[in-house]
């Protein structure tokens, strides 16, 4: 089940962040350290860009089957997570489950059902959930939202999105990763240097929901002010 990946407000905030980072960097070499999009919070959780196995967090619109090994009368199928993050369950009523991983949800359910059952054995199986995806934007051939099939690195994601356009600034690719509901972390990646050196050891693996943004190079930013003249304007027509 696919969901809308960026709200207009969030996209506006992301574009502001891109503009701010690009303006600050100019033509300098990109700094390797990650920088937080928001600057008002003194400290924020750190997102590990090399972490490769994050657990899925349940969201509104997901559904799951709930199975009781010793009390099948409480089995429930296609339990839907409501827009407010709650589910309504037989015997225990409403529980908020959005934001939890499957192990966390299992423990939440065991705690709730322990009030009416003795040491319940519960299994949770996700049925409908948001498929892993990444978003490619900016100076790539085919900007958009792409499903992730297995582990995907930043350079692989760029290739999936059709590769760089001629106007792309390869040395300052921005990778955005959501840290929590309020914070998104941005990291500058020098893809040009990695490809030139033939060393992809610093090529980060993407997390589901990551967004990469490829800015324009300097010439593409100013070419709208340059008249479309032939090379003869700049070079002599006859070379002695």
pLDDT tens for 70-88 read: 999 999 999 999 999 999 9
**Tell me, what's the pLDDT at 169?**
92
SS3 95: strand
Average model confidence (pLDDT) for the chain? 76
- CA nearest neighbour of 86 among 67, 73, 70, 99: 99
Positions of E strands within 118-228 = 122-128, 133-138, 144-147, 173-178, 184-189, 211-214
For the chain, give every residue range classified as CATH 3.30.1950.10. 63-128
pTM of the model: 0.52
The confidence score (pLDDT) of residue 221 equals: 62
CATH 3.10.560.10 intervals, the chain: 8-54+131-224
Mean pLDDT of 12-33: 46
Which of the four CATH numbers 3.20.190.10, 3.40.50.1820, 3.30.1950.10, 1.10.3720.10 does domain 63-128 have?
A: 3.30.1950.10
User: Which tens digits make up the pLDDT trace of 169-205?
Assistant: 999 999 998 877 678 888 899 999 888 888 877 888 9
Q: Residue with structure tokens 């700049």? A: 234
In words, the CATH class of domain 8-54+131-224 is alpha beta
Nearest to 178 by CA among 214, 133, 143: 133
104-136 pLDDT per residue, tens: 999 999 999 999 999 999 999 998 877 788 999
Query: At CB < 8 A and 24+ separation, what contacts does 40-45 make?
Result: 41/183, 44/179, 44/183, 44/185, 45/179, 45/180, 45/183
């Amino acid at each position: 089940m696919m969901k809308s990946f960026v709200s207009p407000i969030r996209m506006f905030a992301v574009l502001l962040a891109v503009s701010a980072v690009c303006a600050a960097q100019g033509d300098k070499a990109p700094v390797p350290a990650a920088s937080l999009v928001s600057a008002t919070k003194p400290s924020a959780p750190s997102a590990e860009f090399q972490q490769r196995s994050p657990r899925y967090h349940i969201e509104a619109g997901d559904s799951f089957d709930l199975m009781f090994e010793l009390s099948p009368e409480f089995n429930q199928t296609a339990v839907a997570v409501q827009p407010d993050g709650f589910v309504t369950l037989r015997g225990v009523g409403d529980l908020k489950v959005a934001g939890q991983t499957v192990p966390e949800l299992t423990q939440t359910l065991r705690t709730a059902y322990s009030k009416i059952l003795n040491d319940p054995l519960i299994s949770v199986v996700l049925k409908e959930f948001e498929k892993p995806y990444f978003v490619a934007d900016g100076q790539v051939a085919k900007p958009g939202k792409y499903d992730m099939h297995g582990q995907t690195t930043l350079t692989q994601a760029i290739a999936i999105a059709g590769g760089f356009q001629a106007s792309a600034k390869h040395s300052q690719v921005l990778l955005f990763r959501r840290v929590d509901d309020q914070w998104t972390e941005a990291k500058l990646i020098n893809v040009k240097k990695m490809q030139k050196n033939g060393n992809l050891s610093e090529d980060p693996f993407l997390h589901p929901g990551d967004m990469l943004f490829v800015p324009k190079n300097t010439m593409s930013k100013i070419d709208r002010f340059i008249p479309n003249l032939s090379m003869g304007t700049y070079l002599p027509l006859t070379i002695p």
